[in-house]
Amino acid sequence: MQEFKSFSKRLETLTLDHFEDFALELAQFQAIHNPIYAAYLKARKIQPSSIQTLEAIPFLPIQFFKDSQVYCGNPEYATQVYSSSGTTGAITSKHLLWSEEFYLNHAQRLFEKEYGPLSDFHVLALLPAYLERPGSSLVAMASHFIQESKSEASGFYLYNQQELLQRLQELSQGSRKVLLLGVTFALLDLAESQAVFQGFPNLIVMETGGMKGRRREMIRQEVHEQLCSFFQVDSIHSEYGMTELLSQVYSKGNGKYEVPTCMRVLLRDLNDPLSPASRSQGGMNLIDLGNFHSCAFLETQDIGRWDEHGFLEVLGRFDHSELRGCNLLVQ
């Protein structure tokens, strides 16, 4: 669709002042061109013309990415399909993409806005290598970051802990920043490996989530304390994303996320998904303008809250929700 190119260009220069207009325009567009979203609005007896504010936008339950092809126009024109990981036999989410190139460049812009050019980093990923886990948006992003870092030291280090630790110590002697990106339980496995590690100032340890179904449940503070102790860093950074989103949110410590310009989080009542939360905690409804080709308005199964400084904290999932995404990325 020609509109996809137009949306992608506008997203590159989006400012907060134009977010609401863009979102409302996209809601009208997807109500017409996305058959799944259109059917959802019809089932709820909502006329697209009645959507005049962000609060009035209906959010599509994320379950639809498991059951349907959520795409604007003909799904046959999608150039890439990302799928979530899951237990054997489980139905996984599938996100049809208009352009993988757009996704990778968009992810790079979001990262570099927070951390600076990837060319300033060595990127070490404690994740499955791309060919081992095809269809993962997280692995595709990590692979792109590795490539754009232009560093021979960058790469995937999933199964070779000693090689990873040795490479980290070698890189500690240089001035270039080092990003260690990993699923949470894999980072914890490394921290509990009995190895001796000497931290260094240029190291950023970033966890992407991933605990359930793999090891004992631990609260975020406990996880971060253990990782900080082993890697000898002051804080653990975090990346929040999922197969159904093309944008990512980053935290530079203490699980406090700063939502990027292309996203908005609206909290809903924990007991009534159609009502806004009456306090600072609730279920997370996400607007991701990066999803202009699929559905930008998602009712997730995550619970969040706003702190007193306007940072987002992700508290976990609803008790009945499934294990999803990077929780089971490493099998």
Q: What would the 3-class secondary structure string for the chain be?
A: CHHHHHHHHHHHCCCHHHHHHHHHHHHHHHHHHCHHHHHHHHHCCCCHHHCCCHHHCCCEECCHHHHCCCCCCCHHHCCEEEECCCCCCCCCCEEEECCHHHHHHHHHHHHHHHHCCHHHEEEEEECCCCCCCCCCHHHHHHHHHHHHHCCCCCEECCCCHHHHHHHHHHHCCCCCEEEEEECHHHHHHHHCCCCCCCCCCCEEEEECCCCCCCCCCCCHHHHHHHHHHHHCCCCCEEEECCCCCCCCEEECCCCCEECCCCEEEEEECCCCCCCECCCCEEEEEEEEHHHCCCCCEEEEEEEEEECCCCCEEEEEECCCCCCCHHHHCCC
Q: What is the pLDDT of residues 124-135, one digit of tens each?
A: 999 875 557 779
Assess whether pLDDT exceeds 50 at residue 331. no
10-24, 169-183, 229-243, 315-329: which range is least confident on average?
315-329
pLDDT surpassing 60 at residue 87: no
Give the closest residue to 141 by CA, choosing from 163, 111, 167: 111
What confidence score (pLDDT) does residue 279 get? 83
Rg for the chain, CA atoms, rounded: 20
How does residue 278 score in pLDDT terms, banded at 50, 70 and 90? confident
Of the pLDDT bands very low, low, confident and very high (cuts 50, 70, 90), residue 211 is: low
Confidence class for position 322, pLDDT limits 50, 70, 90? very low
Q: Which residues pair with 205 in a beta bridge?
A: 180
What number is the average pLDDT over the span 28-49? 97
CATH 3.40.50.980 fits 101-256, yes or no: yes
Residue pLDDT, tens place only, 187-210: 999 999 888 899 999 999 999 986
pLDDT of residue 52: 96
> What is the structure's pLDDT at 215?
57
For position 179, what pLDDT does the model report? 98
Is the pLDDT at 287 greater than 50? The verdict is yes
Which residues, 6+ apart, have CB-to-CB distance to 45 below 8 Å? none
With a pLDDT cut of 90, the percent of the chain lying above it is: 77
Under the banding of pLDDT at 50, 70 and 90, the label for residue 94 is: very high
Q: Locate the domains of the chain by residue range.
A: 101-256
* Average pLDDT of the chain to the nearest whole number: 90
Look up the pTM and report it: 0.92
pLDDT at 324 over 50: no
At 246, is the pLDDT very low, low, confident or very high (cuts 50, 70, 90)?
Answer: very high
Reported confidence tier of residue 69, pLDDT bands at 50, 70, 90: very high
Split at pLDDT 50, 70, 90, the class of 6 is very high
pLDDT of 320 strictly over 60? no
Query: Averaged over 264-288, what is the pLDDT?
Result: 92
Residues near 2 by Cβ (< 8 Å), separated by ≥ 6?
Answer: none
Report pLDDT digits (tens) over 133-174: 779 999 999 999 999 999 999 999 877 888 999 999 999 999
97: β partners: 80
Q: How confident is the model at residue 217 (pLDDT cuts 50, 70, 90)?
A: low
pLDDT at position 8 is 96
Mean pLDDT for the stretch of residues 267-275: 90
Average pLDDT over residues 312-331: 59
Please report the pLDDT score of residue 216 as a whole number.
65
Structure confidence at residue 213 (pLDDT): 52
